[in-house]
Amino acid sequence: MFNYAFLGTLRRCIDKKIAVLTSGGDAPGMNACLRSIVLAANHYSISVLGFEHGYNGLINNEFIELSYAAINQGIHLGGTLLKSARCEKFHLPSYVELAANHLNALDIDALIVIGGDGSFRGLQVLSQIWNKPVIGVPGTIDNDLFGTDYTIGFHTAVETVVGAIDKIRDTADALERIFLVDVMGQHSGFIALQASIACGAEFAMYPESKLSEHQEIEEIIAHIEAARKLHEKNSFIMVLTENHPIGNAQQVADMLTKQIGIECRPCILGHIQRGGTPCAQDRVLATKLGACAVDSLVSGKNKMMVGEVKNEIVLTSLTDTYEKKKQLDIALFAIQHQLFDLVNELNSD
């Protein structure tokens, strides 16, 4: 929400100009965040420029003016009106310096970046040679940034995964097969954990499990065999994070088919997890964080990410957001494993 304690600074904000860009993978709710940034900036009589195609826009000097008329109708749209991209060139000092020169030439007073850990690493690098304030807003479906309970786009991605798994279960039951559903989260299991609980998956595999390849495969097989005896059915849904340490979806499916004797089909959801209309929870979070990003700049904050922890707005240094490891919800993690263990206990009785 707006911090009206800063209304006294309104006069000095007149003629100020900030820029914003969306970087990395797109996330549902980015447009809601852009809308909020523009509205909050207008509240302080600050104009807003939007750089297109992520950091490539800074390098190529591609920008548009973000007026209220241009952004107001985008709150319900997925993707990002500014477009997004990854930028390998931004790893080279010469291109970072070029981006800083473009910002200076346009008299930009501050920069807001909506993105994930890679985007914030780039913003930290830029801040070392561009001496104006920078603020990050967490926009990534992976939900893996330290300093916020949830990131923009995460809840919509989980809803998309749950909807897909509900449909997959229909055909799994009909054909008595095992389906291995591959979800995003290469280094974190936030989507896999919440989606597997929400859709009642029989098993879930994610990087935080800490089991060896042999242990994990043995646990999967033991659980499936126990569930088959208990339920007298041969169809199961298992959730797997992309590029899991024990193998990709096809490799794990082949191993299970060979060892269990039931056909196991991989189903890779891929980029449908990024798309779609943002859910209400993501729209509200994006609106709140966008407004708070502008408030933070007005109050003199720099090199920080705005986040929400236990319904309170918090500021975290950019470096902490990607250097500190965000942990899975311990209680949710325990509940999931209790549910899995219950199947084995019931069968042993």
Tens digits of residue pLDDT in 128-152: 999 999 999 999 999 999 999 999 9
pLDDT given at position 244? 82
Q: Does an H or E element contain 158, and which?
A: helix 154-175
Rounded Cα distance between 97 and 92, Å, is: 9
Give Cβ neighbours of residue 282 (< 8 Å, ≥ 6 apart). 28, 29, 32, 152, 153, 154, 155, 156
* Complete edge-to-edge strand list for the sheet that includes strand 264-268: 203-205, 236-241, 178-183, 264-268
pLDDT given at position 212? 60
Instruction: Give me the residues paired with residue 241 across strands.
Output: 183
pLDDT given at position 208? 76
Options 3.40.50.10420, 3.30.9.90, 1.10.3720.10, 3.40.50.450; CATH of 4-153+278-323: 3.40.50.450
User: What are the tokens at 304?
Assistant: 């920080």
Rounded Cα distance between 275 and 348, Å, is: 43
Domain ranges of the chain: 4-153+278-323, 157-274
Mutual orientation of helices 154-175 and 280-298 as an angle, nearest 10°?
160
pLDDT for 11 beyond 60: no
Q: What is the b/e burial string over 18-38, where b = at least 16 CB atoms within 10 angstroms of the residue's CB? A: bbbbbbbbbbbbbbbbbbbbb
Averaged pLDDT for residues 17-22: 98
pLDDT given at position 68? 87
pLDDT given at position 12? 53
Q: Is 142 a catalytic residue?
A: yes
Top-confidence residue, 337 or 245: 245
Give the per-residue SS3 of 289-334: HHHHHHHHHHCCCCCEEEEEECCEEEEEEHHHHHHCCCCCCHHHHH
Averaged pLDDT for residues 98-122: 97
Mean pLDDT rounded to a whole number for the chain = 88
Residues 159, 161, 167: CA angle, nearest 5 degrees:
105
pLDDT for 4 beyond 50: no
pLDDT given at position 245? 78
> What percent of the chain stands above pLDDT 70?
89
pLDDT given at position 7? 40
Tens digits of residue pLDDT in 166-217: 999 998 888 878 899 999 987 889 999 999 999 988 888 888 776 666 677 7
Quickly state the pLDDT bin for 260 (edges 50, 70, 90).
Answer: confident
pLDDT for 13 beyond 90: no
Top-confidence residue, 206 or 301: 301
Averaged pLDDT for residues 290-301: 97
Q: Does an H or E element contain 91, and which?
A: none
Q: Are 136 and 306 in contact (CB under 8 A)?
A: yes
Fold for 157-274, please state it. Answer: Rossmann fold (3.40.50)
Quickly state the pLDDT bin for 9 (edges 50, 70, 90).
Answer: very low
Catalytic residue from among 15, 109, 117, 142: 142
Top-confidence residue, 294 or 15: 294
Rounded Cα distance between 68 and 236, Å, is: 49
pLDDT given at position 224? 75
For the ranges 24-28, 210-214, 216-220, the lowest mean pLDDT is seen at: 210-214
Domains 4-153+278-323 and 157-274 share a fold: yes
Top-confidence residue, 237 or 348: 237
Q: Are 85 and 280 in contact (CB under 8 A)?
A: no
pLDDT for 349 beyond 70: no
pLDDT for 5 beyond 70: no
Give the DSSP letter of residue 215: H
